[in-house]
Amino acid sequence: MIEKVIEEEVPTTEENKERLRLLTVVRGETLRNRDIYERPPRYELFFPNFVMKELCVGLAFLIIIFTWAYYKDAPLYELSNPAETPSHIKAAWYFVGLQELLAYFDPYLAGVIIPSLILGGLYLVPFLDPDPVKGIGRFAFKERKFAIGCFLGGYVMWYALLLVGMFFRGTYWSFYWPWEDQSVVKATEVALWSFPLPAGIAFLVCYGLLMLLLPAVIFQDFFFRVGLIRYFITFNLFAAMCFVPIKVLLRNGFHVKYVLVTPWFNI
Amino acid sequence: MVKAIVGAEVLDAKKIARREAIRKGLFWACWGVFIGFAGVLGASVVRFIYPRIVFEPSSIFKAGKPDDYKAGSVTLVTGRRVFIVRMDKGVYALSAKCTHLGCQPIWYEDQQIFKCPCHGARFTKEGINFAGPAPLPLPRFYLSMSPDGHIQVDKSRVVSMDFLLEA
Amino acid sequence: MKWVPLGLVRYTFCLGGLSVFFFLLCILTGPFLMLYYVPDVNRAYSDVMDIMQVVPFGAFVRNVHRWSACLMVLCVPLHMLRVFLQAAYKPPRQLNWLVGITLLILTYLLCFTGYMLPWDQEAYWGATIGATMAENTPILGAKGPFSVLPSDKDIHYIMLGGTVLDQPTLSRFFFAHCIAIPGALAGLMGFHFYNIHRAGGMSGPL
């Protein structure tokens, strides 16, 4: 009975506090001391309340993992053989997205530059966001459309690549639609072509200018709020991010190998 | 009160400046020693992880007689990562290492192409990267005929795309 | 006395806490696997086979290690997503966001070095791909654009301890997986928590 009274949200008037203290004294050790301190509205103690809740969730997952580990063995393939790559090879699931990305770009791009841009962009997030307070601690989808849109876009793209690599890629990393039989090796291979150098330069320059100038012209308020340097970095990263699906589209739709071919590097 | 001011005056501007300079000098010297120490430590760690001796197989090896290979066939030299391609007129050796990310392409007889299983690169019999993400064609290795009539592959020498050991 | 917003577990899904929990599970099971696993290219695979088939509860311990690692690498990006959506990287928590991204990188590195250790086909070719990616780094890699270092001095050579995957590679990955990366991860995790405390608790609605 006494506990029930305390669990309710009691307005913290001077009288109530006194009552709480008295109750505590009456129950002695059995009452947890959280209730004798003044509790801010809608807040709880980090320890033990919050930690205990986390621990409960952890224990639930412990049960899940133990059951899962009992019934499903961790994958182990045949002994490594430096003389032969298996015809059907997929990385562990968390790297399949990267593997799929690597199928569209040169290794220096997909393996080094793009991950560096992703991580560099993530590191820069707190400094690129011009607003220091908006939406802290809540899901402010409407007020932070651009920030959340960009982040979700990149996030979804990473996992979309992962899913495509996981379910639509078969033997020899050929693309199979869900209704196609993955055990049948694809009979035809389409040769790829690249943009000639002037066309490639023109494409990249137009793309870059479009991505850098258009948002500033359309959303002028946004441009002035963000400032030139932030704007420049943000939209360079944004353009790099949008280039990935564009290249995927060009590769799959038009069999384009490279947009830009130079003696030193290809894009 | 007056005495205290007089006492302070004893430290003239020159002395103060010198003390300040010593203080600053010591400050930066400390930082210099620290950065130098950390740098030497870091450099030695980097040097430490550079291996000095590497036990790796020789890049020159023999791959049987030209007549061991059927005309038009592609054979993998197991463990050496080299394809020996026998044509009517001669023999050439292709690297069995995808130029994309180093997996080993698989010769697919039905379509007469090499398929790399890792990221889907495709090479023709001549080693040309016609599809998939591979940035370069498969390199050809220098071949010579050893005195006992065996093909000798030198993996350290890459030759042009029209190289053919006549046999 | 630390107050946190009530119902935090409910609408933040407890993802950060779960990541720690899965990491702890890995830390607890890993040393047991180390008792039977020797990082030797001739033995590694058969040791893992032994763990899976001969050692009592060996399969269970390895499964828990592997599956909790899987869940951790799922939870960490989700936690990052939650933090971004709730704008918890904004002042005063910028530093913690940076530490968090480093933790994300370390988690992925831990996974990469970990699935190399059984020395099976997936591990071998996965490591080949990883190493060749390093080789293709611009400037620092031997095959990358604008490379300056020869193939026996570039970062790929440091990573593998040679020019091909062999014993030095496995030793290096073992060291990275068991000592270097978990140590760094644990240390940075502590810093991550300390930063939460210093920034005045988790991001409540303002």
CATH of the domain at C23: 1.20.810.10
Question: Nearest Cβ partner of A87 from B106, B110, B113?
Answer: B106
CATH, domain B60-166, list 3.30.590.10, 2.102.10.10, 3.20.20.70, 1.10.3720.10: 2.102.10.10
Residue of higher predicted confidence among A212 and A45 = A212
Contacts of B118 in chain C (CB under 8 A): 125, 129
Predicted local confidence at residue A5, as pLDDT: 39
ipTM of the complex: 0.88
Predicted local confidence at residue C199, as pLDDT: 73
Distance from CA of A132 to the nearest CA of C (A): 6
Predicted local confidence at residue B78, as pLDDT: 83
Q: Is B1 on the interface with C (CB under 8 A)?
A: no
Question: Nearest Cβ partner of A89 from C122, C134, C141?
Answer: C122
Q: Is A106 on the interface with B (CB under 8 A)?
A: yes
Average pLDDT over residues A34-39: 50
In this prediction, residue C57 has a pLDDT band, given cuts at 50, 70 and 90, of very high
Give the Cα separation of A170 and B124 in Å (integer). Answer: 21
Helix (H) or strand (E) holding A45: strand A43-45
Any domain includes C127: yes
The predicted-structure confidence for A134-174, as pLDDT tens digits, reads as follows 888 778 888 889 999 999 999 999 999 999 999 999 888 98
The mean predicted confidence, pLDDT, of chain C is: 88
Task: Determine the structural domain holding residue C124 and report its residue range.
Answer: 13-87+94-198
Question: Nearest Cβ partner of C115 from A61, A92, A126?
Answer: A92
- Among C41, C122, C128, most B C-beta atoms within 10 A, so best to mutate, is C128
Q: Is A120 on the interface with B (CB under 8 A)?
A: no
Number of structural domains in chain C? 1
Predicted local confidence at residue B13, as pLDDT: 86
Average pLDDT over residues A175-189: 84
Q: Is A118 on the interface with C (CB under 8 A)?
A: no
- Quick check: B105 pLDDT over 60? yes
Using only C-alpha atoms, chain A has a radius of gyration, in whole angstroms, of 28
Give the Cα separation of A93 and A111 in Å (integer). Answer: 17
Alpha helices, H only, chain A: 2-7, 14-27, 51-71, 93-102, 107, 114-128, 145-167, 197-218, 220-226, 228-254
Contacts of A79 in chain C (CB under 8 A): 45, 119-121
Any domain includes C37: yes
Give the Cα separation of C39 and C58 in Å (integer). Answer: 17
Q: What tokens appear for C49 in the block?
A: 């086979």
Find how far residue B147's CA is from the centre of its chain.
33
The predicted-structure confidence for B106-128, as pLDDT tens digits, reads as follows 998 888 899 999 998 999 998 89
Predicted local confidence at residue A17, as pLDDT: 57
Any domain includes C46: yes
Q: Is B103 on the interface with A (CB under 8 A)?
A: yes
- Pick from C93, C37, C98: which is nearest to C65 by CA? C37
A174 vs B108: CB contact, 8 Å cut-off? no
In this prediction, residue C203 has a pLDDT band, given cuts at 50, 70 and 90, of low
A119 vs C101: CB contact, 8 Å cut-off? yes
A189 vs B111: CB contact, 8 Å cut-off? yes
- Quick check: A37 pLDDT over 60? no
Any domain includes C48: yes
The mean predicted confidence, pLDDT, of chain A is: 83
Q: Is A82 on the interface with B (CB under 8 A)?
A: yes
DSSP state of A139: -
The predicted-structure confidence for B5-37, as pLDDT tens digits, reads as follows 555 556 688 889 999 999 999 999 999 999 999
Give the Cα separation of C64 and C22 in Å (integer). Answer: 10
- Those of residues 117-156 in B touching chain A at CB distance below 8 A are 117-120, 122, 130-133, 135
Give the start-to-end residue ranges of the domains of chain A. 2-71, 97-254
- Quick check: C184 pLDDT over 50? yes
Q: Is C159 on the interface with A (CB under 8 A)?
A: no
Where is average pLDDT lowest: A105-114, B1-10, C117-126? Answer: B1-10
Q: Is C126 on the interface with A (CB under 8 A)?
A: yes
Any domain includes C206: no
The predicted-structure confidence for C35-54, as pLDDT tens digits, reads as follows 999 999 999 999 999 999 99
The predicted-structure confidence for B60-89, as pLDDT tens digits, reads as follows 888 888 888 888 889 888 888 899 998 888
Predicted local confidence at residue A114, as pLDDT: 94
